Structure 1
């Protein structure tokens, strides 16, 4: 099933969080995806890191087909060739760490949602001019929530997703959502390496569910 750009954005807004994950072992990747979906995740970003990332993604995409409504995208994309390879493998959206024009052109031709990484107001404005509907504030731990607030003051219509430095705690998430983010991307802070190593996927599912619950509570309180 191919998701439209509007469907992907709607799912991002609804859950408020995108797990960002990579692992060279397909069995581990499947277990993490399973735990994420059971916890309530509907948009998941696998990152293009490691020599076998494409092969793992292909198998993960096939595995994900059992879950109705699960949107699986690819992150850490730098070149048009990578875009083409992962779209051929079934990626539903594409995320880059930077604003890369030829990646944007390739994604636009394929009519797939692309989310560029931006670290300045100029980059975000340029991304918007190029047609971006969502931008990734990256690295989030360097930019901080105050950066998001400043951007939203002059570009209120842009949807911002910080990645890096986002923690699954009420204090941290409140700060980001109060600043005006549409959703957050969470990687290492969400996926406890020791739990994964010990195959404690129930604990992982619980933590993801709690994080989603915190986001829902924060939004409902506004």
Structure 2
């Protein structure tokens, strides 16, 4: 099933969080995907890191079909060839750490949602001119919630997702969502290395569920 760009964006907004994960071991990746889905995640970003990332992603995409409504995208994309390879492998959306024009062109030509990483208002403006519907604020830990607030003041309709430095705590999530983010991308703060190594997937599922619940509480608090 191919999701439309509007369906992907709507699901991103609804859940409020996108896990960002990579692992060279397919079985670990499957377990993490299961824990994420069972915890309430419906949009998941695997990252293109490591020599076998494409191979793992292709298998993970096939495996993900057991989870109804799960949208699986690929991050850390830098070149048109990577765009084409991962779309062929089934990527529902493309995420880049930077604003890369030929990645935008290739993704658009393939009718695939692309989310560029931007760190300035100029980059965000240019990305929107190139057709970006969602912007990745990266690196989030450098930019901070105050950057989001400032950008939203001049671009109030902007859909923006910080990634990097987002923590699954009420205090941190509150800062981001009150600044006006559409959703957050969360990687190392969510997927603790020790938990992955020790296969504590139940603990991971609970943490994900708790984080998603916290986001909804924050959104519903005046």
TM-score, normalised with respect to structure 2: 0.99
CA distance in 2 between counterparts of 1:103 and 1:97 reads: 11
CA distance in 2 between counterparts of 1:99 and 1:206 reads: 34
In the other structure, the counterpart of 2:38 is 38
Structure 2: where are the runs of 5+ without partners?
none
In the other structure, the counterpart of 2:104 is 104
Aligned with 1:66: secondary structure? Answer: coil
In the other structure, the counterpart of 1:11 is 11
Structure 1: where are the runs of 5+ without partners?
none
1:21 to partner: Cα distance: 0.1
In the other structure, the counterpart of 1:147 is 147
1:176-214 deviations in whole A, cap 9, x for unaligned?
000000000000000111111111100000000000010
CA distance in 2 between counterparts of 1:115 and 1:156 reads: 18
Is the aligned partner of 1:29 residue 2:6? no
In the other structure, the counterpart of 2:196 is 196
Is the aligned partner of 1:157 residue 2:157? yes
CA distance in 2 between counterparts of 1:221 and 1:61 reads: 36
1:153-187 deviations in whole A, cap 9, x for unaligned?
00111100000000000000000000000000000
Give RMSD over aligned pairs: 0.4
CA distance in 2 between counterparts of 1:190 and 1:89 reads: 26
Aligned with 1:114: secondary structure? Answer: strand
CA distance in 1 between counterparts of 2:104 and 2:87 reads: 13
CA distance in 1 between counterparts of 2:138 and 2:4 reads: 24
After TM superposition, where is structure 1 displaced by more than 4 Å over at least 4 residues in a row? Answer: none
TM-score, normalised with respect to structure 1: 0.99
CA distance in 1 between counterparts of 2:217 and 2:56 reads: 35
Pairing of 1:90-129 with structure 2 (within 5 A): 90-129=90-129
